Chain A
Amino acid sequence: MRRFGRWRRKYSYFLFLLPALILIVFLTVYPLARVFYLSFYRYNPIRRVERFVGFANYLRLFSDRFFLTGLKNTFLFSVGATVTEVLLGLGLALMFNVKFRGRKLFLPLVIFPMMFSTMVICAIWRSMYHYDYGIFNYALRSLGFEPVKWLINKDLALWSVVLVDIWQWTPMAFLILLAGLQSIPGELYEAARVDGATGTRLFRHITLPLLRNHIFLALLLRSIDTFKIFDKVYALTGGGPGTATETISFYIYRQGFTYFNMGRASAAAVVMFLAVSAVSLIYIRQVWRGEE
């Protein structure tokens, strides 16, 4: 009993962490292990099939046209959206780093879009993109242009979805970069101006180098986020036309929850998890350094 008492005093702080630890293990460690396990099985809960197949799911994956298209589209979406969002965000942050009248009023308005539910945003944009009744095509027609098949043209649909993401999430890049700009001490600029530097040179030799970490962070967080793209595809195009907007998340969703090919879906999930983790680890390493 006495020994137990001492042990309790020494390790009782574990109790603070215990509930969180249990929940996290139950909700993440176990499911991840299970997904990994299932990826080696042919598993269909509806038809009650569960058979070990080794690496067959993975091999099938890389000859599956839908998966490969999904991979390509996810990559295009992620790069297109991330780069544009960070560039636009940088431009916006530079504008808002200057003091002007009404700045405090405009700032919350600029970040408005990211407060809305993605489904609400999809509802709005889908109505605006509509071929016959949409406001975009109405505007184009009244200006004498041909209407555009925003979500129906297979070469354009993916970029129409990218545009919605840019509208929604540029504010996020903007906030990160604005914080970065405001952490640069003003004396640096004054000193450089005394030395005769102006406009673009100030930007290239002071702003950009000192903003590097924030730009990197914005690129990292946005690329991780866009890589998971699912909801916009679901609500705007349903993966179509054809496979034009098929993405990896959407592929996993359909394999797993429409065809109940859970083994194949799990294999795709493992591949996706590893890809995202590889990028996340860059961020996590930075956090690790900061914590230590």
Chain B
Amino acid sequence: MSPWKALKITKHILFWCLLLLIMAVVLFPIYWMLVTSVKEPLEYATRNPSWFPHRITFEHYREIWKEGAYRYFLNTVFVAFGSTLLSLGVAFPAAYGLARFRFPAKLDLIFLLWVLLVRMAPPVVLAIPLYTTLQSFGLLNKLTGLVIAYQIYTLPYSIWMLLRFVRDVPIEVEEAAAIDGASRLRTLTAIVFPLVGPGLVATAIFSVIMTWNEFIYALLFLRRPEVFTLPIHIAHFITEYEVLWGPLMAIGIMSSLPILILSGYVQRHLLRGFAISFK
């Protein structure tokens, strides 16, 4: 074997060792959640936890279901989909207006940059006045109140995402429709809307993921257990019970599944979706 080839093979082996090591580090915590959720307490609440479960049990899943975890599920679904729908409904016309018209005094640009600034500001900064505002509207401890508060995250995000998708629609298509006598509104609903469709879906999915996982506003604005969302329920679980890990991990898995399935659809858009988003 020539030394050149030996070097190449060594490099190849090193590369794969490194890759597998990285995958182990990345995936181990998820594996650990999975196995803990199906172990019996004797196998995790011990100084010698087992690497592989000796006996698999679905007791913890039954237990969380019996204790009414579906309620937190429904709350989370309502908040995530509610805030996403509201955002898209408001952001789509806004994105269209911003993409197609020049506003006086650079108003459009100022609006866009303000929204971006807000997107990056710490959520806790706005929490105090929002708390009193929601309180005065009677929206504290209400899921609708959280839907409105979440517009701080989802609206700026949706406007920016949709703006890029609307810009990808060639203006000639609209001009042709206008020549055929279609009104602005008709062009918007019959021509632009379907063309932006895939972009809308991607934006919606990211928005659902974002609100599904949101923590701080849910913690501050929902103080009664019957309106808890999944992250808040999990947080209470973590801080109240020291080592009740079986049910905790079972809830963790159940609450992550919908998100993992959804994220499969947006692999292609990941960068666009995340670069101006998240948390």
**A interface list, Cβ under 8 A from B:** 13-17, 19-21, 23-24, 27-28, 30-32, 34-35, 38, 45, 92, 95, 100, 106, 108-128, 130, 132-133, 135, 138, 141, 167, 172, 175-176, 179, 217, 221, 224-225, 227-228, 230-231, 234-235, 238, 249, 252-253, 256-257, 262, 265-266, 269-270, 272-273, 276-277, 280-281, 283-284, 287-288, 291-292
Contact = CB atoms under 8 A, between A and B. Distances in A.
B243 to A, nearest CB: 6
Q: Which of the four size classes fits the interface of chain B?
A: 35 or more
Contacts of B156: 24
A30 B129 contact: yes
Given A17-B97, A127-B32, A35 B117 contact: no
A118 B213 contact: yes
B4 to A, nearest CB: 14
B152 A117 contact: no
A16 B97 contact: yes
Interface of B: 15, 18-19, 22-23, 25-27, 29-30, 32-33, 36, 44-49, 90-91, 93-94, 96-98, 100-101, 103, 108-109, 111-118, 120-133, 148-149, 151-152, 155-156, 159, 209, 212-213, 215-216, 219-220, 230-232, 234-235, 237-239, 243, 245, 248-249, 252, 255-256, 259-260, 263-264, 267, 270-271, 274-275, 278-279
Contact of A45 (B15, B115, B132, B159): B132
A292 B109 contact: yes
Contacts of B127: 252-253, 256-257
B128 A17 contact: no
B133 A280 contact: no
Q: 5 tightest A-B contacts by CB?
A: A16-B97, A31-B129, A20-B94, A117-B213, A34-B129
A185 B155 CA distance: 36
Contact of A284 (B26, B101, B117, B125): B117
Given A117-B231, A120-B256, A257-B220, A128 B29 contact: yes
Given A32-B126, A128-B29, A132-B47, A116 B249 contact: no
